[in-house]
Amino acid sequence: MKPMDEGHFAILRRHMVELIAIYGELMSEEIGRATFDERVLAAMMRVPRHRFVPAPLVPLAYQDAPLPIGFDKTISQPFICALMADLLAAERTHAVLEIGTGLGYQAAILAELVDRVWSVEVVEELATEAASRLRELGYTNVALRIGDGSRGWAEHAPYDRILVTAAAEAPPAALIGQLRAGGRMVMPIGPPDGQRLTVVDKTANGDVRARPVLPVRFTLLETVI
C-alpha cells in the first residue's frame, strides 16, 4: 500500500472534526452547551495530529481514540482534546498554562487559540521531542519546561487558564494559587476508577468552584519529591 500524503491526512482530519462536532451535539446536556466553539473546531482542523504521534501510529492519528506515545503516556482521543479546549473557554489574549505536554498536540491546539502557552512536562524525552515538533510547525508562542507539573510554573503566573492533561484526586494547591482570580482550570479529578473531567473556576474573591462534566480515564499526574 502507498503511504498517505498530506491530502489524505487533510481529508481524515476533516472527518475527525465532523465526528467531534457530532459527539458534541449528542453530549450537549453533559457538556452544558449545544455546540463546540467554532474557534476550537477550526484549531482542530488546522493542527496536523499525525505530526504529534510516534511514526508507527501515523496511519491511526485521526481515529477518535487515545494513542500511546511512550513512557506509559498517551495522546488523548481527539474528542477529549477538543472538549478540554472548549471547556477552557480561552480568549486570544489569555496566558495559558498546560500541565502534561506529551508530544505537544494539545499545546498546538492551545497555541492556535491564545497568544501565549506555557507547558510543563515531567518526562524529559517527551518534552525534548515536543519542543522539536512544535518548532518545526512554527508554534513559536509555546514555551516548554521540564519539571513537576503539580508545582506549575510560578515565574509566569498568574494564568488566565490552566489545562491539566493528567488526573489528581484534587486540584493541586500550587495550580490554584497560580490561577488568576476569575480564571478557569480544566482537569480530570478523582480516584483512578472514578475520574471526572472537571471545570474549576476561581471567583474574583478567590473562592474555588468545581463542576464535574463527564467520566474520563487519564494517567495520573506525576510528582517529583
Dihedral of CA 120/126/129/134: which sign?
negative
Report how far residue 161's alpha carbon sits from residue 91's, in angstroms, rounded to the nearest whole number.
9
User: Which of these is catalytic: 76, 119, 132, 150?
Assistant: 76
Class of residue 34 by CB neighbours under 10 A (exposed 0-12, middle 13-18, buried 19+): exposed
Q: What are phi and psi of 149, to 5 degrees?
A: -65, -30
> If you write DSSP's letter for every residue of 87-128 in order, what string do you get?
HHT--TT-EEEEE--TTSHHHHHHHHHSSEEEEEES-HHHHH
Distance (Å, whole) CA 22 – CA 199: 22
CA 154 to chain centre: 20
Residues in the chain: 225
Q: In the annotation, is 76 catalytic?
A: yes
Q: For the beta carbon of residue 207, count every other beta carbon within 10 angstroms.
A: 9
Could you give the residue ranges of the DSSP H alpha helices within 56-200?
Answer: 78-88, 105-113, 124-136, 173-178
Rounding to the nearest 10 degrees, give the CA dihedral for residues 53, 57, 62, 66: -70
Catalytic site residues? 76
